[in-house]
Amino acid sequence: MTASRPRVLFVVESGTDVRLVEGMAERFELELVCRTIPGGVAVSQSPRVSVRTYMGSSSRFFFAAEVMRRLLVRPRPDFVVVQGYALAALAANLIGRFRGLPVAMLVCSPVERYYRCRKDANDPRAPFRVAEFLALRLLARLNALLGQRYLVLSRHLADVVTGHGTRRPIDVVPVYGVDVEQFTPIDGDRTDLRRRLRLPEHGPLVLFSSRVAPEKDADTLLRAVGILKSEGRPVAVLNRSGGFEEFQRQAAVRGVGDLIDAADAVDPRGELADLYRAADLCVQASREEGLGFSPLEALSCEIPVIASAVGGLKETVIDGDTGWTYVPGDASQLARQIAAILTSPQEASRRAVNGRQLVLQRFERGRVFDQLEQIVRAGTQRREPA
């Protein structure tokens, strides 16, 4: 294992978290090749370190062509990490085979399963189209045949890519992990913290940090809040995410708009930890989930968590041990679980403490980037057989 830093090219097709970029930049000589995201950003926040970045086309097809061209004509990187298993991954895998480049697909979400959630959401702004769904499945299958290896966040995602037909190595590496020095239990009075953050100082507060998307199922949470309100047990909901205006609109439709405090996403390297600590509990209401970092960050702050029993969430939020779970889409059960946490503070604290221990053991930031570095360095010394 050499002391020099491997030259890693990271291909970003659908946007990524700044914490992943910064963590990779600490370990590698990193270059980003990013698709331009219409109406969005390729990296969630501006990195605090200098990273060479190339912004490509917004078209997935033309971006894939740009990835192929850069891997063919630019100086050879030591290792290529490509996001997901769509067109850009197919381009990288093809050139990787041609040039003998080590390429790993970093899978953070089950793309086709997320897309299938559009059927249940029935949102006209995100319609389900059979042709698009079949195209996603075809790309998944082609990448399974051509790819060299996968990096996945959870055992659930390992099962997903295995289902695509791959026989290649699959490493479970939950990058970007959790910074347990930042996401720590509250030290002091929660009322003072809420006052400083200009949040409601009294009464139960639920944090819902997911973006508004079909797979995140904000509606089930809002219906649960409506049930509690009708029973005379109102809870306020704090939302800081992309699409918060839509969250407010949906809350108004459900008759709970007065209980919502929503605003745009905050920098996860700053205020986010305080928002967890200010809340009484965190809810992850997904219809499908690759891993789910929000519950892990909440648990690292020893804040109780309720999560739908789906996907990678089932590996971390264990009912009776590290949190509470409910059947996806069951608003009545979710309302009962919220009430259970609020009326059983000692039990809520016990499970949250267990959750922080889980994070320390399996998801601590340094640990997971150590895993990633070992895989990259090993990959620069040998190539998996075709």
Residue ranges per domain, the chain? 7-177+365-381, 190-362
Cis upstream peptide for 176 (omega within 30°): yes
Q: What pLDDT, on a 0 to 100 scale, did the predictor assign at position 3?
A: 61
CA distance 250 to 155: 33
Sign of CA dihedral 50, 52, 57, 58: negative
Give yes or no on whether 7-177+365-381 and 190-362 have one common fold. Answer: yes
Q: Could you tell me which residues are beta bridge partners of residue 81?
A: 10, 104
Q: What is the pTM assigned to this prediction?
A: 0.94
Q: What are phi and psi of 324, to 5 degrees?
A: -120, 145
Tokens of 231: 């029973």
What average pLDDT values come out for the chain (386 residues) when binned by 10 residues?
A: 82 96 97 94 94 96 97 93 97 96 97 91 84 96 97 98 96 97 92 93 92 92 98 95 89 96 90 96 97 97 98 97 97 98 96 98 97 95 53
Please work out, in degrees rounded to the nearest 5, the angle formed at the alpha carbon of residue 293 by the alpha carbons of 290 and 294: 120
CATH 3.30.420.110 assigned to domain 7-177+365-381? The reply is no
Q: What are phi and psi of 308, to 5 degrees?
A: -65, 145
Average pLDDT, the chain: 94
Query: What dotted CATH number matches 190-362?
Result: 3.40.50.2000
